Amino acid sequence: MVSIQHRFLNHRINPETEILLLGTFNPDTPANDAEFFYGRKRNFLWRLLPSAFGETDLKDASTTDKSAFLRKHKIDFIDLIEEVVVEPGQEANYSDGYIDSKVIRWTNVIAAIDHLPKLKKVCFTRKTFSDIPNMRKQIDIIQAYCSTKGIPFFTLMTPARIYSMDKQSEWTIILLKETK
């Protein structure tokens, strides 16, 4: 078995964050070309996110430019999983359905939320749960906690695989929706 940690495990969430985007896992493996959260070639978050705010596509932008955008709009990221253990040869298997049963350490998302006094919403970057029962349990706990704190919790169409106008519309509506 091979232990794989989250690529951005040392990422510290900006305490000014108002929108927290919650993902699943970004493995620290040589096959992973992501230089920053949601940075893989087949992920369109960096097109969806700026477009929602009427700004230029950042898909091919530098990490510095992406970080500046995040600070400007008070957005940050956290993922559910800190570490998985997989079979040799499966280190580059990014499928949530596969990873779901391989988690050995979950991120304490609730503790992170508690350190964000300006948080206005949490958005999970996935809408379906049929193949991820363990992640679903974690999401249910986080969503219930947000509810007790009066923090709106949303699910969004995954930014992975394709970009579409329907996806863009949903992201724009949810990200710009007034809360609190």
Percent share of the chain, pLDDT over 90? 84
156 contacts 172 by C-beta, under 8 angstroms: no
Segment 50-69 mean pLDDT = 96
Task: Name the CATH superfamily, with its identifier, for domain 2-176.
Answer: Uracil-DNA glycosylase-like domain (3.40.470.10)
**Would you say residue 42 has pLDDT above 90?**
no
Domain positions in the chain? 2-176
> Within the chain, where are the H helices?
45-52, 63-73, 96-99, 109-114, 133-149, 165-176
Segment 41-67 mean pLDDT = 94
**Would you say residue 83 has pLDDT above 80?**
yes
Edge-to-edge strand list for the sheet holding 75-79: 75-79, 19-23, 121-124, 153-155
- pLDDT value at residue 41: 84
d(CA 95, CA 4): 14
* Residue range 96-124, pLDDT digits in tens: 999 999 999 999 999 999 999 999 999 99
**Would you say residue 180 has pLDDT above 70?**
no
pTM score, whole prediction:
0.95
12 contacts 99 by C-beta, under 8 angstroms: no
104 contacts 3 by C-beta, under 8 angstroms: yes
74 contacts 19 by C-beta, under 8 angstroms: yes
Residue 134: partners with Cβ closer than 8 Å, 6 or more residues away: 100, 101, 103
56 contacts 68 by C-beta, under 8 angstroms: no
d(CA 30, CA 7): 10
According to DSSP, residue 132 is labeled -
* Residue range 119-163, pLDDT digits in tens: 999 999 999 999 999 999 999 999 999 999 999 999 999 999 899
**Would you say residue 21 has pLDDT above 70?**
yes
